[in-house]
Chain A
Amino acid sequence: MSHSAFTLVRPDARPTTSPTLAPEPSTEPGKRPLLTMTGISKSFPGVRALNGVTLDLYSGEVTALIGENGAGKSTLVKILTGIYQPDEGEIVIEGRPTLLPGAQAATEAGIAAIHQETVLFDELTVAENIYIGHQPRTRLGLIDWAIMNRNAARVLDELEARIDPTMRLKDLGIAQRHLVAIGRALSVHSRIVIMDEPTAALSHKEVEELYHVVERLKAGDRAILFISHKFEEVFRLADRYTVFRDGSVVGAGEMADVKSADLVRMMVGRSVDQVFPKTDVAIGPTVMQVRGFSHPTEFADISFDLHRGEILGIYGLVGAGRSEFAQALFGITRPSAGTVTIEGKPVTIRRPSDAIGAGLVYVPEERGRHGAVLPMSIAANIGMASLGRTSKAGFLDLARECQLARTYAERLELRASALNQPVGTLSGGNQQKVVIGKWLATEPRIIVLDEPTKGIDIGSKAAVHAFMSELAGAGLSVVMISSELPEVLGMADRILVMREGRMAGILARTNATPEKLVNLATGNETGAAA
């Protein structure tokens, strides 16, 4: 039992004598799914992440999983890799119902995931990174370097990666690191490979190499679940597709039968108008002008006008630089160039207090980390940016703070048992209301909301949307960063689309369609021409 790691990995399956990637003798390829998920549901407090989802994966085929952020893709991946347990539903692998109670069980079942950020170890060699956690051992229990290096070389050969297994990882480029991550997934004899947005951080040439690897994996008779936002690569690589929306499957089939417009339609749905209580507000004069706003690394040359009573949506894929832009505007990071004018006066914002003074506030995406001080009370959180008004000569007037907090708690229909309750004990939606309340208490002119409804339940979502309309109606200017198309289309008067740190375009509400937005955000050629 010198190769104990390998037998451990495959307790059930055909004995493997060497860790080659030779194709399994598959019966009727493409006919019977290698893996079937049926009726999978998963709920978290306040959110139903997956709702009776069905998914088939076939050996020798690439299945693309498509959906907006928050559609439930990551939850599905976490169920497949044993990190989450489904509340309902069944997973069948090769005809056998299978439970995946943990990461180890998923590995043993032959499932491997290559994540957006697979953890690799800079100071270890390529071979060590590939075999981390299941290094081949000598009889004395020491790591068998010779066998490990030889096996690693074989895994890398299979990927046609010309990487020396004895190199240290820190000496490799991003694409090569990616290959090492894939090699790790293959080293455990996985038959089902999940690739979660693998091209997100790669350059054009590196993407081509990755496509090649995917082709190799396909040829090795593996079933591949390929998660991507980019239609171009989905059409290039995938044989089948499954589209998620709001935790449910809204479409599945073969790529040959579908066009990119169909996929976009399925992804965003049609029920945009009913859900969003956007009220028509007379758009007033310009409140803020942003010109040539740039950052050394994250975004460049952002320019727009914001008007009184307007809701400006900022749409884009994750990583398009939207939050980075908003945070620079708010004074968290320093821009490298650009000017901001608020109500005709040029303003210099070096830190958030300057922005607040100029009437510009920012509701961050990460509520728990940036938005609220969770161990502190509702009253303290709502009053936190208004301490100047709830104090006399530097000393707190707790009665006034409570009064201020109550005013905004009630305006936002906060659900809490007392104002001295720690914010951390509230639900996500109510925490968000506390953060919004904190900013409204400063009586701002411009409020920037970064993914304001991410991870909160439908009821609170509707309340946040209604409230945004109310704010615009009261003469505030709202900037809403969102990755959810229905939200952007339903709430915004104009939509600024960002792609890779730059403005891809600004569309008026009347002119915006889901297809146009997705095409602008992804750089899909057909749309760029339109």
Chain B
Amino acid sequence: MTVLDTGPLPAEPAPRSARASGGSIPDRLEGRASRIFLRWEVLLLVLAAIVFAINSFASPYFLDPWNLSDATYNFTEKAMIGLAMALLIVSGEIDLSVASIIALASVAMGAAAAAGASVWMLVLIGLGVGLVAGAFNGFLVTMVGLPSIVVTIGTMSLFRGIAFIVLGDQVYNSYPAGFEWFGQGYVVWAFTVELVMFLVLAVIFGLVLQKSTFGRRVYAIGNNPMAARFSGIRVERIKFILFLLTGVMSGLASICLTSRLGSTRPSIATGWELEVVTMVVLGGVAINGGSGTILGVVIAAFVMGLVTFGFGLLNVPGIVMSIFIGLLLIAVIALPILFRRVMAARRSTRRVAA
């Protein structure tokens, strides 16, 4: 019988590459220089450098360290959420209620501060509201089995709606002394508390996603939830944890933002969910899940912060900013797909040539 055989029949001579030295398969193939240059993170770094250069030419005030330090406020709070959102999107889910969680937590902290709570009580309340909100999202997605995009569009309205009912057109603006440290303080020289907090968290999230068993499971779930389940991974539990994490990070962002503004309105952080998602996707996280790195998200955060700051320096009106964010979101979702298509085409032509 004639059979097209690709299997390892014992009689067959060993193929060149696979069995070169004593039947052992190499850990990895030699990396090509071109592969490093074509990584998304590298493209982002180039983009960041270009934006940086344009800004420094466009405005004489840009290169001032204190101005740059102020500029980081454009992204640090969003980027904290972006770290958790990156894990959530890698796992194949999404949370669009993050900005509403900020509002809810901020209102809760405002009310507590009005009732005389201490700084640490406020921190606990902020994180706690985030945790509970995340648990609610996670419960609906992983235990009830609803799609996360629908659930979190629902809770986006729900959480902000609660904030509006509690606060109405009022403002909370008295906080205990020391609370302003989170959003207005400096750790050393021009490095703000928020920036340092974000960088420390970025390292932790990067280690978790790229180096821990938890992160490995998150990637597996994002690439093939069924196979992950069939491999003994507790898919629902991990997704639930990711919703909790996103909620807590939204709570932390709420603490920082409330502290920085020194006041709370129910409309606080309106529209941030899209900016966070844009940042994560710009960072190279596949919107359908399965791939992406924290490093990419961090660079994307800086790019978006620099662009926003540059527009501010050039007195670009807010509505143009909003148009830009919209275009960026579309471009950012389209670009990696086109990018992967080009890479796949390159790979397949290489395979044919081989």
A residues at B contact (CB < 8 Å): 43, 45-48, 51, 246, 330, 332, 351-353, 355-356, 362, 364, 369-376, 378-380, 384-385, 387-388, 391, 394-396, 402, 406, 409-410, 413-421, 427, 429, 438, 456-463
Contacts and interface: CB of A to CB of B under 8 A. Distances in A.
11 contacts: A43-B4, A47-B4, A369-B226, A373-B227, A376-B219, A406-B27, A417-B18, A418-B27, A419-B25, A420-B29, A459-B12
B216 interface: yes
Contact of B213 (A394, A438, A456): A394
B216 A387 contact: yes
Nearest to B351: A425
B104 to A, nearest CB: 31
Contacts of B67: none
Contacts of B2: 48, 51
A438 to B, nearest CB: 7
Given A372-B227, A459-B6, A459-B9, 14 more contacts: A353-B234, A369-B227, A371-B230, A373-B220, A374-B224, A375-B223, A378-B25, A379-B27, A387-B213, A396-B211, A402-B27, A406-B25, A457-B5, A459-B8
B4 A373 contact: no
A463 B11 CA distance: 12
B217 A463 contact: no
A99 B17 CA distance: 42
Interface of B: 1-9, 12, 15, 17-18, 23-29, 207, 211-214, 216-217, 219-220, 223-224, 226-234, 290-291
Contacts of A457: 3-7
Given A370-B227, A456-B7, A458-B7, A396 B25 contact: no
> Which of A246, A355, A419, A427 has most chain B Cβ within 10 Å?
A419
Contact of B230 (A48, A370, A388): A370
A384 B231 contact: yes
Contacts of B27: 379, 402, 406, 418-420
B28 A384 contact: no
A427 B231 contact: no
Given A352-B229, A420-B29, A395 B213 contact: yes
A418 B7 contact: no
Contacts of B224: 369, 372-375
Contact of B291 (A375, A406, A420, A460): A375
> Which of B4, B24, B25, B290 has most chain A Cβ within 10 Å?
B25
A421 B212 contact: no
Contacts of B227: 369-373
A376 B222 CA distance: 11
A258 B89 CA distance: 61
B229 A332 contact: yes
Contact of A396 (B4, B216, B231): B216
* In the A-B complex, the 10 residue pairs with the closest CB atoms: A459-B7, A460-B7, A387-B213, A420-B28, A353-B232, A352-B232, A413-B8, A370-B230, A356-B232, A418-B29
> Which of A355, A364, A395 has most chain B Cβ within 10 Å?
A395
A356 B231 CA distance: 9
B29 A395 contact: no
Contacts of B207: 395
A384 B219 CA distance: 11
A375 B221 CA distance: 12
Contacts of B15: 415
Nearest to B224: A373
A364 B230 contact: yes
B235 to A, nearest CB: 10
Contacts of B6: 45-46, 415, 427, 429, 457, 459-460
Contacts of B229: 332, 352
A257 B23 CA distance: 55
Contacts of A369: 224, 226-227
Contacts of B3: 47-48, 457-459
A355 B23 CA distance: 33
B233 A384 contact: yes
Contacts of B223: 373-376
Contacts of B4: 43, 45-48, 457
A416 to B, nearest CB: 5
B207 to A, nearest CB: 7
> Which of B2, B24, B26 has most chain A Cβ within 10 Å?
B26
B8 A418 contact: no
A14 to B, nearest CB: 43
Contacts of A461: 7
A390 to B, nearest CB: 8
A33 B224 CA distance: 49
A243 to B, nearest CB: 17
B216 A380 contact: yes
A391 B213 contact: yes
B156 to A, nearest CB: 31
Contacts of A387: 213, 216-217
A174 B1 CA distance: 42
A416 B18 contact: yes
B7 A362 contact: no
Contacts of A376: 219-220, 223
Nearest to A354: B232
Contacts of B232: 351-353, 355-356, 385
Contact of A460 (B1, B8, B29, B217): B8
Contacts of A427: 6-7
B7 A417 contact: no
Contacts of A418: 25-29
Contacts of B5: 46, 457-459
A351 B234 contact: yes
Nearest to A376: B223
B176 to A, nearest CB: 37
Contact of B231 (A385, A391, A394, A419): A385
A378 B28 CA distance: 10
B50 to A, nearest CB: 31
Given A458-B7, A459-B8, A414 B25 contact: yes
Contacts of B228: 373, 384
Nearest to B31: A420
Nearest to A377: B28
A506 B307 CA distance: 72
A155 to B, nearest CB: 41
Contacts of B233: 353, 384
B7 A394 contact: no
Nearest to B16: A417
> Which of B2, B5, B27, B231 has most chain A Cβ within 10 Å?
B231
Contacts of A384: 216, 220, 228, 231, 233
> Which of A385, A429, A459 has most chain B Cβ within 10 Å?
A459
> Which of B1, B8, B23, B26 has most chain A Cβ within 10 Å?
B8
Given A369-B224, A385-B231, A419 B26 contact: yes
A388 B217 CA distance: 12
